[in-house]
Structure 1
Amino acid sequence: MLKALMLVGVGGGLGAIARYALGGLVLHLSLQQRFPWSTFAVNVLGCFVAGLLAGLVERQHVLGPETRLFLFTGLLGGFTTFSAFGLDAVALLRRGELLLAGLYAGGSVLLGVAALWAGMRLLGAGAGQG
């Protein structure tokens, strides 16, 4: 149990650092935009990486349980930001930006799912399922 907690904690810390670094970079590059590109980019990239890793697990059987715990629960759990997604969507709604809020929420979900699917398909996983 302690080992699992350490794997999740270290992975989560590294994921949070990566999220902070990428999110800060994207935020700096899109400072004048009303759309929350920072969280959007992190969520879509996180879903794509999750798809790649899930493809490895499904197709190649190369990641053991501890590695999956570290990568999925820890690293990607610390990296992806759907709680921030909710805050950004509500902020857009509260500012009366209904169209942007809809585009943001819909785009995040659709592109996130599409990115996950693309990551899995890129590695040949999920063949015959879509």
Structure 2
Amino acid sequence: MGSYVDQSLTRNESVISRAQTSWIPTIIPVIIGILLLPFYGLGLLIIVPVLLRVWSTELALTNQRVIAKVGLIRRNTVELRIDKVESLGIHQGILGRIFNYGSIVIKGTGGTNTPIPNIKAPMQFRSIVNNHI
């Protein structure tokens, strides 16, 4: 099974940049999950969804679009042509500022805001997108 971004590419479309997902926000839920494993495996109810969300989040800039996907079973996708991207916002808490991760909020000309959570180096990705708009 290939990545959603790779499967979504059209003819003459190539990936310029891919954002990576940060593992930092998952540390506390994973630790709690590990501590709860001895109790009838309850920890798996915490660990599995957290890891699936990290592994299934994709964000990429191509020469034609911004493509984002969050989720595996309940999947949310956004594909915006570069000329339809109005802005890319960044939401970072204090830990996000310290460890350089945050949510990127993509706003298209239709007015919908789409947050893509826990992206590593969000300012750098936003800068790359802004240079190609």
Q: TM-score, normalised by structure 2?
A: 0.28
More strand by share: 2
